[in-house]
Amino acid sequence: MAFLKFVLVSCFPLAAGNSLHVASICRNLSCDSKSHPLLDYDPVKKECLCRAHPCWSDANMVHTCPKPEAPFLNFYYTETGQLVCECATAPHYETPYMTKTKCPGQRCRDAEYPVLDFDDYTKECVCRAHPCWDLNGLQHKCKNDKFPVLRYREEEKDGTINRFCECVTKMNHPGMDEL
C-alpha cells in the first residue's frame, strides 16, 4: 500500500520537519512507501534512499506510541550513536543521517526552530524553522488527522528547483497500522 500524502496550506507551529540539507542533496526522491517512509542519505555509498523508521527495528524491538496524548514516534541518536525512541505530542520528520552522522547528539527543542539541519555555508549544525512554515510566502499546515506529518522535499527539472510541502501519514510500523 502506498504511503499516502496530501499537499495543504496553513501553519502548524508544533510539527517538526526535515532538513533542507538532506532535501537538497536528495532532490527528485520522494519516499512514499509505508515500510520505508524516511528520505535519507548514505554518506558511505554517497546515495539517497528511503529508510524504515529506525525505531521499528531497535535491538529486535518494535517501538509504538499507543497513547493518544503522545501518539507520534520520534527518534534521535546520542553523541555515542545510541538510538533513542520516544513518543511525542507533535509529529516529527527526521533522518538518521542528520541525527546520527551529521549532527550526533544534537536536538532542537525550541518550538519555533525545531528542525535539525546542516548549514552548508557555515558547515555547522543548526536549528531552523520548518521550511514549510514560510515557503514562497505560504504557511503550510496538516489539518487532516490521517495525514499529520508535514514533510518538505525538492525536485529539480531543467535547472529549476521545485519545493514541495506535503502532509503524510503518521509513521506506524506497517504491521501495526491502526484499524
Tens-digit pLDDT profile for residues 83-92: 999 999 988 8
Band of pLDDT at residue 16, cut at 50, 70 and 90? low
pLDDT above 50: residue 3: no
**For residue 40, what are the β-bridge partners?**
49
**pTM for the whole structure:** 0.83
pLDDT in tens, 132-166: 999 988 899 999 989 999 999 999 999 999 999 99
Q: Is residue 10 a contact partner of residue 91, using CB atoms and an 8 Å limit?
A: no
Cα–Cα distance for residue pair 117/19, rounded to 1 Å:
5
Cell of 171: 509513521
- Residue recorded with cell 542528520: 98
